[in-house]
Amino acid sequence: MNILFVSGESKPFAKTGGLADVVFSLSKEMVKKGNEVSVCIPLYKSIKDSNSDLKKISSFKVKMNWRMQDVDVYETIRNGVKFYFIGCAVYFNREHLYSYEDDIERFALFDLATVEFVKKHLTNLDIVHVHDWQAGMVPLLLKVNKIKVKTVLTIHNPMFQGNFSPDYIMDYFNLPRSFYDEGTMRFNNYCSFLKTAIVTTDVVTTVSVTHAKELREDKTSYNGLGNIIALRGNRFVGIVNGIDEDEFNPTTDKYIAKKYDIYSFKESKKENLVQLQKRFEYTRIPKGPVVGVVTRLTPQKGIIDIIKSIPLLVTYDMQVFIVGEGDRDLENELQKQAEKYPNHIKFYKGYSDELAHIVYAASDFFLMPSVFEPCGIGQLVAMRYGTLPIVRRVGGLNDTVTGYELDKDRATGFSFDKDNDEGLQESIKLAYECYKKENMVKIILNAMKFDSSWSKSVDNYLSLYKDII
């Protein structure tokens, strides 16, 4: 099949979160299975500045009501995947990917330009697969332009919807207000990229089975998005994500001091811990287990629960390494905790691939008490590195982590009920008991043997594509 992914970001060129990992990993795995796959993302400043092999292949103008925008399209290839970059300096020649006041207008241009590029150059596509709100107008615009291709939407994070005033429909998309009035674009008195995609695409997916169930059953969360999703019936399905097992592989990881497998993890983790400790200043090294956190610092990720658990972690003499950035108040509070408990809490504000890999390879436990988690990548990486996740039973965390408290024989980590306010601390206590009794080996082996590859997920996507073609 000939498949085009459209996204606001993709590794190895642009990343703010797990979306970029998923788009690249999914496209690579589909190529391995004999498909022709291309990815279309904006040409951000960082991409243009750091990649000299981009080749300009097309230039055209895009009409946005009264103004015309010049667009250049570039291409290159990575791992058998062809990348197309939509270049428009006025919108994308900026330091960051998102969080600008004109983001709606920026991605309106991106969607319009993508469809124009498809119309001019990609005439043999079988599937256009759009990801999250930034690409959400593409399915409708393909229909308006009478481009006959099947479309798929994957919702990675339903919190972000691309909502804007209906007064701008013509300004942004050259579309009549009737698309709002009759309901296609209307969502709670706004126009919405995401809602438009949900009702105009051929099939909608999200990134885990449990999260799909949560979205269907909860009609009030995410501004009532569940009501819209429910209308799609069996055209809405959950397919759990995988991880790139070439990138996240403790037997070959270039970042860690001591590589290891299921036979050598115990001693190797000790050496990797020494490597991690050298990155921070210690006056006394705690005797307890090592706890890792690698995450965006937002309330969604359960950071407040982690902060509340710090006194317990200190009581158990644990070493806690936190890597992340995001909400300023949460950053400041974690910095205060690191200053209050300098021998137990270490906080790195920011993100580093190298440091993240070392944290995964050195830790005994990995905290991921997300309030909601469509799929999650951190728990999958942690298990592959023999680091036991402690998670709230929501979304993809529920689908991928088997809690010791539920099934001692098949356990791959520890979990707690989503409505249990004390659940994280209870799970930490249980994990600590297992650590002290030295009966974690079976859980670690289960975790490291868990199949987190993309192969099965890709087969599910390809089957879904074939059903709609």
Give the span between the Cα atoms of 113 and 93, in whole angstroms: 16
Q: Apex CA 389: angle with CA 435 and CA 323, to 5°?
A: 105
Give the span between the Cα atoms of 282 and 238, in whole angstroms: 45
| Residue 203 DSSP SS3 | strand
Domains and CATH numbers, the chain: 2-242+455-468 (3.40.50.2000), 265-449 (3.40.50.2000)
pLDDT at residue 284, rounded to an integer = 77
pTM, to two decimals: 0.93
Preceding peptide of 12 cis, ω within 30°: yes
Alpha carbon dihedral 46, 47, 48, 50, in 10-degree steps, equals: 80
User: How does DSSP assign 215-230, residue by residue?
Assistant: HHH-SSHHHHHHHHHH
CA 465 to chain centre: 22
Give the span between the Cα atoms of 431 and 418, in whole angstroms: 18
For the record, the structure tokens of 172 come out as: 């942004």
Sign of the Cα pseudo-torsion (323, 325, 326, 327, in order)? positive
Give the span between the Cα atoms of 310 and 394, in whole angstroms: 22
Give the span between the Cα atoms of 90 and 420, in whole angstroms: 48
> Residue 340 CB: number of other CB atoms within 10 A?
12
Give the span between the Cα atoms of 27 and 35, in whole angstroms: 9
289: nearest Cα among 435, 427, 430: 435
**pLDDT under 70 in the chain at which residues?**
none
Give the span between the Cα atoms of 437 and 433, in whole angstroms: 6
